[in-house]
Amino acid sequence: MKWDTLQLIVYGNNFENVEVKSDDSRLKILNSFPTENKSYIFIDVIIPKDLQAGNYNFVFSNGISEKEISFPILDRKHSDDEHNGFSNEDIIYLIFTDRFCDGNPNNNTIGDSLDQFTSEDLDGRKGGDIEGIISKLKYLKDLGVTVLWITPMLENNMYMSYHGYAATDFYKIDPRFGSNELYKKLVEEAHNQGLKIILDHVSNHIGINHYWVKNLPMHDWYNGTPENFIKASHDKMAFLDIHGDSTIVKMNQQGWFTDYMPDLNQRNPFLKNYLIQNTLWWIEFAGIDGIREDTYPYSDQKYLADLAKTILTEYPNFNIVGEIWQGVPAIISGYQSKSPVRLVNFDSNLPTVTDFALTDAIRDFLSGKESIYKVYETIAQDIVYSDPDNLLVFVDNHDVDRAMLLAKGNVDKFKIALNLILFTRGIPQIFYGTEIGIEGGTKHGELRQPFPGGFSDDFQNAFLDNGRTEYENDIFYYVKDLFHLRNQYPSLSKGKLRHIYPFDDIYILIKSYDDEMTMVVINARGEDFSFESLQLKKFLPEANEIVNLKSNTEINLKAVDRFLINKMSAEIFLIRK
């Protein structure tokens, strides 16, 4: 590895006036750093590239007694280029671990866990786990998705912690989800199916029950104290606002989300090293392909830039997406690498950002608040992005109402929304259960409802064709067909986008890649649209024939004056010259 100098944190007692030595001359100790808390000591160690895997020992001596601590060096299982990242060629499927599938009921209740299994409480644990995900990999492969973004699996020994975003141990998979070895097996099994894995990563905060809280390595390990802290301002514009107030930036990046999530201080160089090394360790140990960085604007931006640079230097094919929950394109852009709107000499090194601006536009269309013009208008602002193809596009996720709920059960509108995220620019992401039209509710526990068939007390199994209702199968096969078309035709995924102003709620997307050209026609009107061939030739003068890829119907534009696009629908055509 290029990162060959480690900073180890050692926990014990009375680390005062201590000398540290290695029992192997090849394992060189550069420095040791005792802290004001004598329970910790930091050690800088160089690991030579030719050092064999095995257990090595550090000897700690205070002149009176000695203590030996073993340090394991593991074999590298993956080369740097095996971590394949994700791109606009992919379709990302977001799994909420606790609510997807329970593959091992025996781990639902763990004796010392504060948040216990319950089948009644919406905000309680339901039992989804790693073995459940492994058991459904073939289902996901057949569906047509290519990447799995899985919500955090680290130990969260907290009350109401089923979500996984309040870690209490950075090196341990929560036993209610499985184990470190099972997580590694999940990645291996996914790769065997041709699926990639995104780790949901949280640098911003920890859970209040993390062992650090009771015994801090340093006084400034996190911002404030449980008794005296500032609350996060949630003003994600402040960091980029040229008129912004530094106090608001501080509140945003040093404030606590809640009184049970201490805000980590990544400005502390020792914590910064710990977090970067921990991330590299998970990439190496499990062989993951990408990272989704949670609550991106809330962490120290210099730390995040260094984290991304370190990862991408070590693993050039890797990708990282930052969660920027902000609906203004120029603000979202400011967090992407090489952003044209940055006014200071700073690069985030972050390849991908979440396109909440487009999400808001599509959701406004679904709810009836805006017409499809809002979608066009949002995409027309792509000039502010350094790389529009590296935007994560989605209509819903684990934090907002589901698409079908917004559409009030209007399946046709729902299907249009899916066409929009799949065939515009960027990297599409769908939420588990979208493929069967789960509606959910307005509360977190409702929108994150268990996938039917993933749990022993379910009355149906929507993972199976005969376990889905006619309504669910209609949506399922529609979604599956869209996924497979996107995977089959490169222009639909990575083609250059040209879109046409949505006259009378008819929105046209034209995608080109090499010699292949496709067209998506969206009729967002309440009546059928008769598309004149001459009108189409204005946009595509080279087109002589089009093929409807859903119905496999050929239309000769010289022989046919017009063709029909049904009301509230989207059709996909292959253009033949």
Q: Which residues are catalytic?
A: 294, 323
User: Side by side, which strands form the sheet with 496-503?
Assistant: 496-503, 506-513, 516-523, 569-576, 545-548, 553-556
- Considering only CA atoms, which of 496, 510, 516, 498 is closest in space to residue 389? 496
Strands 154-155 and 569-576: unpaired
Q: Which of 444, 283, 302, 429 is nearest to 354 (CA)?
A: 429
Which letter, b or e, does each residue of 128-166 get, where b requires 16 or more Cβ atoms within 10 Å of its Cβ? bbbbbbbbbbeebeebbbbbbbbbbbbbbbbbbbbbbbb
Contact between 310 and 218 under an 8 Å Cβ cutoff? The reply is no
Token pair belonging to 242: 């040229």
430: tokens are: 């769908």
- How far is residue 183's CA from residue 173's CA, in Å, rounded to a whole number? 8
Q: How far apart are CA 508 and CA 128, in angstroms?
A: 41
Distance from C-alpha of 332 to C-alpha of 553, rounded to nearest angstrom? 41
Instruction: Say if residues 291 and 238 touch (Cβ distance below 8 Å).
Output: no
Residue owning tokens 């260094």: 306
Query: Residue 523: which residues within 8 A CB-CB, separation 6 or more?
Result: 505, 506, 529, 565, 566, 567, 568, 569, 570
Q: Nearest 5°: phi and psi at 394?
A: -165, 160
Q: Which two tokens stand for residue 324?
A: 């920027």
Distance (Å, whole) CA 122 – CA 129: 17
How long is the chain?
577
Q: For residues 43 and 361, what is the distance between their CA atoms, to the nearest angstrom?
A: 50
- Element spanning 568, H or E: none
Indicate the helix (H) or strand (E) that contains 138: helix 137-143
Q: Map residue 523 onto helix, strand or coil.
A: strand
Measured CA distances, 300 to 281, 304, 356 (Å): 21, 6, 21
CB atoms within 10 A of CB 229: 16
User: Strand pairing of 147-150 and 196-201?
Assistant: parallel
Number of alpha helices (DSSP H) and beta strands (DSSP E) in the chain: 17, 24
The distance of Cα 5 from the centroid of its chain, to the nearest Å, equals 29
Of 190, 202, 354, give the one whose Cα is nearest residue 288: 190
Residue 124, classified by CB atoms within 10 Å of its CB into exposed (0-12), middle (13-18) or buried (19+), is: middle
Q: Encoding tokens for residue 252? A: 């945003």
Place of tokens 């690069």: 347
